[in-house]
């Protein structure tokens, strides 16, 4: 079924002011049009921001537990519709049904977590150095926030941003990834169903350079929460900087799994296969580098090859499939170029490397699971984000070398170390420059109750989810109450 959605502004679906639209297509068969959506420009963005601004004060003054109640009910509906939305997600974005369910489950878990936060939102109290004076801190919402998201987690990422924003008391203008507007529309319909007041949550669909950039530049937007590529993140950071606007960036990465000789080899291989090839490698936490100790290199490589060669590639609706299509033609070509580049750079292609086009793959963007051996840390395939089903093995001899290799990239999102040696564990905790460090578990699979984010060029120091989820969307106000009945001067001797 083909659908037609506009923008969601002030509680209503409306077409783009220009009347322009764009299509969303199924990556498993690009001849299938999922729907048409509003192609927004700065004028649409302005209408959405004005709607969000108009109700900002009232939403801020709505008690936080009441704001959080909308999120709780949205979570309950997401749970009810999980199966239906998962099917839409697989059709629109490609990932396997099992993973689509996981994507939505992340949103459900986060709804329940953030709903509880509405009844906490703890501040602190501090003593004053003066008599009869009291200090406390309270959170204050930053105002209208712009949320700009990618396509790879079409429900999870929008919920990671919108739920804390709304609980915090911000009003929202959301610009979803242009490859997944239907998933965004289904989430929006849930907000409508729970009766969130008109104007509190708005959606502008369209392209990054048009709708996204206009949102970043709008003077009434107090903060931008962005997840996407480093390239776009850099320009958003610059533009927000000029405007003194708050900006949270969750960007790309070049994640690594380290395998030490004392690792349980079966578990390390399963972790690598899942970490590198789940969502066809299109996760910001995907294992795109494997640093394997020389003593176990051959055993690990052989076992990984057997596992990878057994992976079925195909439509995400087929329950046997482990590798679903990649998102679009442009991304498919980019991945294939990197595979070619790896060979030119001297890495050894040991499995995969090809696009699949025969029977069963017509019209889709399918690439074989691809593994390089003899990759070295300075190759471009070892340092640049590929965002596809491609990983490479490097040899290491010591934990020092493993740490050096791991840190030798500009990114720093997720690192995993397979070892039972307590020294390796604590060396890793102390020296690895990644925001997420896993031991004996893959680089992917973050949970919502822990902070999520990366070091170095993966971000700009903010974290999403977990107990810090509200931080970006609120300012701390320090409140002093003097009940002494006279002028008291801090730091001044009488
Ligand atoms: P992208 O940067 O191309 O696009 C992301 C979003 O930004 C889209 O909505 C797009 O329309 C918008 N956009 C593009 N240009 C813009 C501009 N000039 N101004 C404002 N908005 C603009 O990224 P993508 O291809 O959608 O997603 C893949 C990238 O996202 C990868 O690099 C991946 O690592 C990253 N990612 C990071 C995380 C994380 O948490 N660190 C999570 C998921 C994905």
Q: Over the stretch 44-79, which tens digit does the pLDDT of each residue have?
A: 999 999 999 999 999 999 999 999 999 999 999 999
Mean pLDDT, rounded, for 311-323: 98
The tens digit of pLDDT for each residue in 143-161 reads 999 999 999 999 999 999 9
CATH class of 255-439: alpha beta
**pLDDT at position 493:** 86
**Ligand 1 centre and the CA of 107: distance in Å?**
19
- Establish whether residue 387 lines the binding site of ligand 1, counting it when its CB lies within 6 angstroms of any ligand atom: yes
What's the pTM?
A: 0.98
Ligand 1 atom with the shortest distance to the CA of 452: 40
Q: Given ligand 1 and candidates 39, 150, 436, which is best to mutate, with the most ligand atoms within 8 Å of its CB?
A: 150
**What is the overall mean pLDDT for the chain?**
98
- Establish whether residue 384 lines the binding site of ligand 1, counting it when its CB lies within 6 angstroms of any ligand atom: no
Q: Given ligand 1 and candidates 208, 285, 412, 465, which is best to mutate, with the most ligand atoms within 8 Å of its CB?
A: 208
- Establish whether residue 451 lines the binding site of ligand 1, counting it when its CB lies within 6 angstroms of any ligand atom: no
> Which of 210, 280, 54, 196 minimizes the C-alpha distance to 187?
196
Residues of the chain with CATH 3.40.309.10: 255-439
Q: Who contacts 229 (Cβ-Cβ below 8 Å, separation ≥6)?
A: 150, 251, 252, 385
**pLDDT at position 406:** 98
- Establish whether residue 152 lines the binding site of ligand 1, counting it when its CB lies within 6 angstroms of any ligand atom: yes
The tens digit of pLDDT for each residue in 391-426 reads 999 999 999 999 999 999 999 999 999 999 999 999
Residue 223 phi/psi, 5° resolution? -155, 150
CATH for the 3-251+459-478 domain, from 3.40.605.10, 3.30.530.20, 3.40.50.2300, 1.10.3720.10: 3.40.605.10
So which residues are the catalytic ones? 250, 284
- Establish whether residue 314 lines the binding site of ligand 1, counting it when its CB lies within 6 angstroms of any ligand atom: no
Residues of the chain with CATH 3.40.605.10: 3-251+459-478
Residue 494 pLDDT level (bands cut at 50, 70, 90): confident
């Amino acid at each position: 079924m083909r659908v037609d959605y506009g923008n969601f502004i002030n509680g209503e679906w409306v077409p783009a002011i220009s009347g322009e639209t764009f299509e969303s297509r199924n990556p498993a068969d690009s001849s299938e049009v999922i729907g048409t959506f509003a192609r927004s420009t700065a004028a649409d963005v302005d209408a959405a921001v004005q709607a969000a601004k108009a109700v900002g004060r009232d939403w801020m003054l709505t008690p936080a537990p009441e704001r959080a109640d909308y999120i709780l009910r949205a979570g309950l509906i997401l749970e009810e519709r999980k199966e239906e939305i998962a099917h839409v997600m697989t059709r629109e974005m490609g990932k396997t049904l099992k993973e689509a369910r996981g994507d939505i489950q992340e949103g459900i878990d986060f709804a329940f977590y953030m709903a509880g936060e509405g009844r906490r939102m703890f501040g602190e109290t501090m003593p004053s150095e003066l008599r009869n004076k009291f200090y406390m801190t309270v959170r204050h919402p930053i105002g209208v926030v712009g949320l700009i998201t990618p396509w790879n987690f079409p429900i999870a990422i929008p919920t990671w941003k919108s739920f804390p924003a709304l609980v915090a008391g911000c009003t929202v203008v959301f610009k979803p990834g242009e490859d997944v507007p239907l998933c965004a529309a289904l989430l929006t319909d849930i907000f409508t169903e729970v009766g969130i007041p008109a104007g509190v949550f708005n959606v502008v669909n369209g392209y990054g350079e048009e709708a996204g950039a206009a949102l970043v530049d709008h003077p009434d937007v107090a903060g931008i929460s962005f997840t996407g590529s480093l390239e776009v993140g850099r320009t958003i950071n610059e533009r927000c900087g000029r405007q003194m606007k708050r900006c949270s960036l969750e960007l790309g990465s070049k994640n690594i799994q380290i395998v030490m000789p004392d690792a349980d080899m079966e578990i390390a291989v399963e972790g690598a296969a899942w970490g590198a090839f789940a969502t066809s490698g299109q996760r910001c936490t995907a294992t795109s580098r494997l640093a394997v100790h020389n003593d176990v290199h051959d055993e690990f490589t052989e076992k990984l090859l057997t596992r990878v060669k057994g992976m079925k590639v195909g439509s995400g609706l087929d329950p046997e499939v482990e590798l679903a299509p990649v998102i679009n033609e442009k991304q498919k070509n980019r991945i294939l170029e990197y595979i070619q580049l790896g060979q030119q750079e001297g890495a050894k292609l040991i499995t995969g490397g090809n696009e699949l086009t025969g029977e069963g793959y017509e019209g889709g963007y399918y690439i074989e699971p691809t593994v390089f051996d003899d990759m070295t840390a300075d190759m471009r395939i070892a340092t640049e984000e590929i965002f596809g089903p491609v990983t490479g093995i490097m040899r290491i001899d010591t934990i020092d070398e493993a740490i050096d290799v791991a840190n030798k990239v500009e990114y720093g999102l997720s690192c995993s170390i397979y070892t039972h040696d307590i020294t390796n564990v604590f060396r890793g905790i102390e020296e690895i420059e990644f925001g997420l460090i896993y031991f004996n578990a893959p680089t992917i699979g973050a949970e919502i109750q822990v902070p999520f984010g990366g070091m170095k060029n993966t971000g700009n120091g903010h974290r999403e989810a977990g107990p810090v989820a509200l931080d970006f969307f609120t300012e701390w106000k320090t409140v002093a109450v003097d009940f002494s009945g006279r002028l008291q001067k801090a730091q001044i001797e009488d």
